[in-house]
Amino acid sequence: MVYARSLTARGLAAGYLLDRLFGDPRRGHPVALFGRAAEALQRRLWADSRPRGAVYAVVCAGAATGLGVAARAATSRRPRARIAVTALATWAVLGGRGLAGEGAAMARLLESGDLPGARHRLSHLCGRDAANLGTGELARAATESIAENTSDAVVAPLFWGAVAGIPGLLGYRALNTLDAMVGHRSPRYERFGWASARADDLANLLPARLGALAAVCCAPLVGGRPGRAWRVWRRDASRHPSPNAGQVEAAFAGAMDIRLGGVNRYGDRVEDRGTLGDGPAPGPADLRRSVTLSRAVGAVALAVAVLAR
């Protein structure tokens, strides 16, 4: 058992390195392939019904987890294959390099004054309506997305990889993808996507708080103080409507001494995210700092995952 855990730890570390070096595959990304399969199944199963949505979530996430169980069984007596498959699965589900790249690209556009380009680019990070956003609001939206997705796309996959190996990696990523596809509050998905959204909330409950704690510890790397970051995190996280996104966004705000949160528009829906932090509103330079903090939090998450295995 201990030996098997060490193989998983090596695979997680190798997969993290692959993501840092190469980022997401340009073609045939496994997550994109899963998304297309899930979309095809949705066309057959959709109904304005929570039970139908629950069946959809179980089938999709169960298939991904089952694939992970099969891969684990197939490599049970082949140590090198176990490391390789764990590394490939980790690489497939992590999004650290891509997230950092999008943040840096947004910062360059804002620094050059290219607002139309920045508004278009924001869609790579979040679903917020960017049509009328200025430099400050674009920087805030991107910084908040960097914080939230550091937890969703880096900390949580490593956490579940440490807990359950290959099945944990694939199962978590499936749930997170389903949440992005059907978990939002729209007339079509408010009931059908309920199970996917709640399952994703549960899966991120611990990782989001671990990611927030890592951001607090890494505050000095972006000119912040851990004590202040801790106070802002504990005070402001509950102001956010999401039980998990508010954790990491508040911690990032405290670590960088900036103010996040506010009113966001998603098409016809307006959402008040509350105020997180006491500092000034973020600008392009703060967006770059959030990328630095995101990378640091990812490195801490890897260290914890490897040590846990």
Cβ neighbours of 84 (radius 10 Å): 17
Q: How confident is the model at residue 184, as a pLDDT?
A: 85
Roughly what angle, to the nearest 10 degrees, separates helices 226-236 and 205-217?
150
Q: How confident is the model at residue 208, as a pLDDT?
A: 98
Q: How confident is the model at residue 2, as a pLDDT?
A: 61
As given in the structure block, the two tokens for residue 49 are 């019904």
Residue matched to tokens 């890494």: 218
Q: How confident is the model at residue 267, as a pLDDT?
A: 66
- The 3-state DSSP class for residue 293 equals helix
Per-residue pLDDT tens digits of the chain, which is 309 residues long: 666 778 999 999 999 999 999 998 777 789 999 999 999 999 999 999 999 999 999 999 999 999 999 999 999 999 999 999 999 999 999 999 999 999 999 999 999 999 999 999 999 998 888 888 999 999 999 999 999 999 999 999 999 999 999 999 999 999 999 999 999 888 899 999 999 999 999 999 999 999 999 999 999 999 999 999 999 999 999 999 999 999 999 999 999 999 999 877 776 677 777 899 999 999 999 999 999 999 999 999 999 999 987
Backbone angles phi, psi at 123, to 5 degrees: -65, -20
Q: How far apart are CA 62 and CA 179, in angstroms?
A: 15
Q: How far apart are CA 178 and CA 166, in angstroms?
A: 18
Over its C-alpha atoms, the chain yields an Rg (Å, rounded) of: 19
Residues 6+ apart with CB under 8 A from 181: 35, 38, 39, 42, 193, 196
Q: How confident is the model at residue 301, as a pLDDT?
A: 98
Per the rule left: phi > 0, alpha: psi between -120 and 50, beta: everything else, 225 is beta
Q: How confident is the model at residue 132, as a pLDDT?
A: 85
The residue extents of the domains of the chain are 2-308
